[in-house]
Every structure is written in structure tokens, then in C-alpha cells.
Chain A
Amino acid sequence: GEDVEQSLFLSVREGDSSVINCTYTDSSSTYLYWYKQEPGAGLQLLTYIFSNMDMKQDQRLTVLLNKKDKHLSLRIADTQTGDSAIYFCAESLSNDYKLSFGAGTTVTVRA
């Protein structure tokens, strides 16, 4: 079965880089996702990576995938106060598109 784990909290200074980590257990995952949830809102897709890729960069976001260790990370460069939110890691499997989510990492950006 699927099991996605993340640390629950991260505090970072404005302007620094944030790194959010995630581990997953199912080796048949095809897509891995990072979603962002701002207070009182639904989830918004930030980025995703195919399981046959090692890295994906999109402006301030860098996703690294280590398939051997089943480890996914999201790096946010030059973190801003607007980046304060809950970040969810999620995986989907090859035979369906249901997502399995981690518990979410609450990122707090301090001045």
C-alpha cells in the first residue's frame, strides 16, 4: 500500500532557501506531486515530477527525486512571506490516478 511521510513543521527566514522533504514507500509510483495550501483555501498544484526523472526546476522551485531511497524534496529559493503555507507531498500509482498524500509540512516564513 501507499505511505507518504513528511516532517510537520519548517521555519525559515525570509530570503533563505526552504527544503521540504518527503519519503514514500510504493516503488510503482508514476507521478509525485507537491501541492500548496494557503490558510482557508483548497490545494493548489505547485509542481510534479515523473518517476523516471531525477530533477525538475520551475522558477524558484526545484524538485529532486531519489528513486533508490524513495525520497522527494522541494526546494524554494529566496523564500518570501507569501510562501507561508502547508505543503503536501503526494504520489499516484501506475494503475490509477488516486493520490496518496503526506500529512503536510507547515512552512512559516519569519522576517
Chain B
Amino acid sequence: NAGVTQTPKFQVLKTGQSMTLQCAQDMNHNSMYWYRQDPGMGLRLIYYSASEGTTDKGEVPNGYNVSRLNKREFSLRLESAAPSQTSVYFCATDGAYEQYFGPGTRLTVT
């Protein structure tokens, strides 16, 4: 029972490159979330999915797209990476009173 897994753990991109961050959960939860964490700013919600087949924008969606592939998987895509997207990205899923977080993807855009 792995909980929430994310790949890759680290990534370096050049400005303009694209990539997809993968997230999977084996907890059979409906809701999944993508956050970014920046120093001094806490976690900010990028996108979320309340259930399979639905996605909604969070606080900072610009420059990102998401896909809820099935109940287990929720991916985050950067179509044209910018230095401002250098951050640590966390995926999470919802339990009854708790969000469970993955270990994070550390992304650097040069």
C-alpha cells in the first residue's frame, strides 16, 4: 500500500520545454489535488479533481493543464515551462478529514 506516489522526484527543464508530472494513489479516494510549494508562500492549489472525469482550477492554474486519467491517476502538464514554475510540486488525495500527500517533485526551470 504505497499511498500517494509521484514521478519524477527531480527534474530540470529548459525554458519552453514541456513535461508531465505523474501522480497515482492506491487509497480509492475520489478527490485529488496538485499544489506548488514556494519558500515563504506555503502551498498553493493549482488544480483539483473532485472525482474521476472532473477537474477544476485552483488558486494558480495559469501555465498548467491536468488530466484525471482514472480514479487512481492525476497528471499535471507544463506545456511551455517558465522559470517562474521552478517549485516543488505536491500531489494529494482526500481522506475523511485528512489530505495525504505524495513526496513531491522538485522542478527547476532554467
Residues of A within 8 A of B (CB): 4, 8, 31, 33, 41-45, 48, 88, 97-99, 101-104
Who on chain B is nearest to A43 by CB?
B101
Interface residues on B, range: 20 to 34
Chain B residues whose C-beta falls within 8 Å of the C-beta of A88 in the assembled complex: 42-43
A45 touching B40, Cβ below 8 Å: no
Cβ 8 A contact of A101, one of B4, B42, B98? B42
A44 touching B40, Cβ below 8 Å: no
Can you identify 20 A-B contacts, CB atoms within 8 angstroms? A33-B98, A41-B103, A42-B102, A42-B104, A43-B90, A43-B92, A43-B99, A45-B98, A45-B99, A48-B98, A88-B43, A97-B31, A97-B94, A98-B45, A99-B45, A99-B99, A101-B42, A103-B40, A103-B42, A104-B42
> Shortest distance in angstroms between A108's beta carbon and chain B's nearest beta carbon?
16
Chain A residues whose C-beta falls within 8 Å of the C-beta of B42 in the assembled complex: 4, 88, 101-104
**In the docked arrangement, what's the CA distance between A98 and B58, Å?**
9
B90 touching A42, Cβ below 8 Å: yes
